[in-house]
C-alpha cells in the first residue's frame, strides 16, 4: 500500500472542538478525508499520495476525540452537527471556501451530513462502506434494541459510558487487532460462526473476534500506530459518537427524509455487513442521492475498504474526482 511521503504536513487548526489535527499532501482542489471507528487519519495513508499525484490537496483529519484532535469531556459534544461544523472549520482554516468530502464508516455518515447541512462548503461527497440513509423512522436506539433477539447488537452495547471502555482499554492493541480481523475479508469468521457484531448474554464483543492472524492489509507497524493513538487518548471520545445517535435524530429533524443532492460516489465491500444490511438504502439511491455519479460494490472485500483494496478504491476515487465540475 502506498504510504505518505516524508513531505506530508501535519498541522492542527482551530475548530469548535478546540483543534483538529490533520495530515495533508499535495496541492490543488481540497479533498477532505474523514475516518471511521476505531481509526484515525492513518486510515487514508494509501490515498494521500495518490490523490496528491492526481493534482489534489488531500487532507485527512483526526475526528474530534481521536488522535491529536481535541477531546471534549461531555458526551453530547460528539453529536453530528458538531462534527459537521468541525469539518467546515477545517476547510476555512486551510484557506479554502469549499471542498469535496470523502468518508469511511462513521466518516461516511459524517461526510453525508456535512454535505446535507453545509452545501455551501461541501460541493461533492464520497461514501465508503456505509450507505447514505436519510434521517427518519423510529429513534435509532429503539431500532438497535430490537436487533439480535437475545443477543445484543454492538451499537446498543456501546451505549453505556464505561462499559465498552472496560473491555477495550486494558488491551487496546489486542482488541483492535481482533476487530480489524473480524471485519476483513481474509480473516473474518466463516459462515455458521457467531456474528462478531453481536454480544452474547454476559459476554463481550471480543469473545467473537478471530485470534492469532492479522489481515493482509495490516502490518504490525500499522497496528502499533493505531494502538498507540488509543492507548494515549482512551476510547470514550470515539465511543461517544455512538452515544449521540438519538440526539442526532432530534437535531436533524428538519432534514427528515432529505436527499443529498451534490455529485456523489459510493463504494462498498461485498462481504461487509454495512453493505448487506443496508441494501435497501443502496437501492434507494435514485431518490436519496440524486447526484450519484457511480456506485460500486467490490466483490470479496470486507469493511476496511480503502485499506483492503487501496488500488481499486484509488482508481474509482480519482476517476470520480476527475469527473466533477471544475
User: Which residues are marked as active site?
Assistant: 105, 303
- Collect all residues with Cβ–Cβ distance below 8 Å to 117 and sequence separation of at least 6: 81, 84, 252, 255
- Collect all residues with Cβ–Cβ distance below 8 Å to 145 and sequence separation of at least 6: 153, 156
279-311 burial, b for 16+ CB within 10 Å, e for fewer?
eebbebbeebbeebbeebbbeebbbbbbbbbbe
Which three cell numbers, joined as nine digits, stand for 24?
495533508
Question: Using H for helix, E for strand and C for coil, what is the string for 212-259?
Answer: CCCCCCCCHHHHHHHHHHHHHHCCHHHHHCHHHHHHHHHHCHHHCCCC
Which three cell numbers, joined as nine digits, stand for 133?
440513509
Amino acid at each position: 500500500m502506498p504510504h505518505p511521503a516524508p513531505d506530508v504536513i501535519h498541522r492542527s487548526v482551530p475548530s469548535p472542538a478546540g483543534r483538529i489535527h490533520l495530515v495533508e499532501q499535495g496541492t490543488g482542489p481540497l479533498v477532505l478525508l474523514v475516518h471511521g471507528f476505531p481509526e484515525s487519519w492513518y486510515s487514508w495513508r494509501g490515498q494521500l499520495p495518490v490523490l496528491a499525484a492526481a493534482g489534489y490537496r488531500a487532507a485527512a483529519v483526526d475526528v474530534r476525540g481521536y488522535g491529536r484532535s481535541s477531546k471534549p469531556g461531555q458526551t453530547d459534544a460528539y453529536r453530528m452537527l458538531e462534527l459537521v461544523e468541525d469539518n467546515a472549520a477545517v476547510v476555512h482554516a486551510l484557506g479554502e471556501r469549499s471542498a469535496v468530502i470523502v468518508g469511511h464508516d462513521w466518516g461516511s455518515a459524517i461526510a453525508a451530513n456535512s454535505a446535507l447541512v453545509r452545501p455551501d462548503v461541501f460541493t461533492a461527497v464520497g461514501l465508503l462502506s456505509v450507505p447514505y440513509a436519510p434521517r427518519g423512522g423510529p429513534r435509532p436506539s429503539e431500532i438497535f434494541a430490537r436487533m439480535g433477539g437475545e443477543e445484543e447488537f454492538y451499537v446498543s452495547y456501546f451505549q453505556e459510558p464505561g462499559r465498552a471502555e472496560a473491555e477495550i482499554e486494558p488491551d487496546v492493541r489486542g482488541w483492535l487487532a481482533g476487530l480489524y480481523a473480524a471485519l476483513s475479508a481474509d480473516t473474518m469468521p466463516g459462515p455458521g460462526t457467531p456474528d462478531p457484531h453481536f454480544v452474547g448474554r454476559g459476554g463481550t464483543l471480543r469473545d467473537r473476534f478471530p485470534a492469532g492472524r492479522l489481515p493482509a492489509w495490516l502490518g504490525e507497524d500499522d497496528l502499533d500506530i493505531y494502538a498507540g493513538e488509543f492507548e494515549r487518548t482512551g476510547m470514550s471520545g470515539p465511543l461517544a459518537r455512538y452515544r449521540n445517535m438519538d440526539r442526532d435524530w432530534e437535531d436533524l429533524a428538519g432534514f427528515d427524509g432529505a436527499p443529498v443532492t451534490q455529485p456523489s460516489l459510493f463504494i462498498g465491500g461485498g462481504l461487509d455487513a454495512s453493505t448487506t444490511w443496508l441494501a435497501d438504502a443502496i437501492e434507494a439511491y435514485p431518490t436519496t442521492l440524486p447526484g450519484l455519479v457511480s456506485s460500486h460494490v467490490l466483490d470479496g472485500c470486507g469493511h476496511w475498504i480503502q485499506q483492503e483494496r487501496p488500488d481499486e478504491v484509488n482508481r474509482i476515487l480519482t476517476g470520480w474526482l476527475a469527473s466533477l465540475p471544475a
